[in-house]
Amino acid sequence: MTALEGVKVICVGQFYFAPYCTMLMARLGADVIKVEAPQGDPYRRLPTVDDDGYPIQFRFLNSGKRNIRLDLAHPAGQDVLRKLVGNADVLVQNLSPGAMDRFGLGYEQLSEINPRLIMASGTGFGTFGPYAGESAMDLTIQARSAIMSTTGFSDGAPVRTGPSMVDFMAGTHILAGVLAALFQRTRTGRGQHVEVALQDAVLPSLTSNIAGLLSKNTANFERTGNRHGGMSVTPYNAYPAADGWVTVLCPTDKHWDRLRELMNDPDADDPRFTTMPGRCAHMDEVDAVVARWTGTRSKDDLAAALKDLKIPCAPVVTLPELLEDPHIRERGVVRTVDDEQGSFMTLGSPLLLSDSPMVEPTRSGGLGEHTDQVLSEELGLSADDIAKLRDAGAI
């Protein structure tokens, strides 16, 4: 059986955060119903589409779910959600702060309908604190959380991270909270409210940077480029190769000794470089020695030679190279799925359980594609009942 077989989940969210959390739950076997406003998830309307004109981001995060169209600003739409909650185990939402409460769909109201309900809410800054209630997106959280000020090079402007790390880190945090609440419910019989603030979820990733700031033994720079965030490990950088770039780091003196012997460069024998504090005090000189050695070799040859000596390293791959990487293909986090309509690419799952097979992804549905099915099967509504809701504009 799958890990979450029989678990019913409602996703009231858009963009990346709640959809990613519930996509992982779908891969674990949960029955996920995605609730969309009448106009649909904004990611249905992005210009990044596949050959069939389908929005790729939406497909990656919403395949394997049932899609219903529901106007939560309409009293009848709110009533439909309340009825769905009566049969649900989990509701994950990331609407604008306070929206669910304004609709009369906050945790206190919904838990009266279903005391076993676990409601998970994601917001930018949480429900208390000076910034509570402020709207937020991945970019603005990166700005507010010192992610941007610590990304890039010291002589350049602040830079956002390439991937949308905030949304996806927060999505995995809220999944952890939901799974913990499901486990606790097996002992108490009660649901609870799980809250994750996006800013809270990313702050722990700054541990090395904060250590560098607080320490009196390292140079303090906010933006350290490809160097260690705390400026306390050297070498630790992306170095030029003949055909691109390679990352190399020596977390201990033993790693450095192996690299020094491999490079066979008299400058690497400088006694100032013997210890980690010494190397960190002379980062520019150490990096110059390493770069001189890497610059004449291919990135794959460098990676192979370093791996033989168990020195942490990796070639810097491009996105096209990544998608064709045989390791990525075999692991299946990015999957190409064949069905009666052809082939499409979507996400698998990074969560691999030895006794719980992953549910293979299916195509993401059209806007409101499963509305009639869900209302009929889950709530027992007749065709006339559904028609009345549609005529009223609730669905």
Contact assessment for residue 379 and residue 80, using Cβ atoms and an 8 Å cutoff: yes
Tokens found for residue 10: 């409602």
Q: 59, 34, 25: which is closest to 351 by C-alpha?
A: 25
For the beta carbon of residue 186, count every other beta carbon within 10 angstroms: 7
Distance, in Å, from the CA atom of 305 to the CA atom of 356, rounded to the nearest integer, reads 38
Residues 242, 243, 248: CA angle, nearest 5 degrees? 75
Contacts of 111 (CB under 8 A, 6+ apart): 117, 119, 191, 193
CA-to-CA separations, 104 to 76, 80, 196, in angstroms, rounded: 12, 12, 21
Contact assessment for residue 248 and residue 259, using Cβ atoms and an 8 Å cutoff: yes
Distance, in Å, from the CA atom of 85 to the CA atom of 375, rounded to the nearest integer, reads 12
Distance, in Å, from the CA atom of 68 to the CA atom of 395, rounded to the nearest integer, reads 8
For residue 346, the cross-strand partners are: 335
Q: What residues act catalytically?
A: 167
Query: 3-class DSSP state for residue 270?
Result: coil
Contact assessment for residue 5 and residue 80, using Cβ atoms and an 8 Å cutoff: no
Distance, in Å, from the CA atom of 59 to the CA atom of 43, rounded to the nearest integer, reads 9
Contact assessment for residue 8 and residue 31, using Cβ atoms and an 8 Å cutoff: yes
Distance, in Å, from the CA atom of 393 to the CA atom of 74, rounded to the nearest integer, reads 8
Please report how the helices 371-379 and 75-85 are oriented relative to each other, as an axis angle in degrees rounded to 10: 50
Per the listing, tokens 């419910």 go with 185
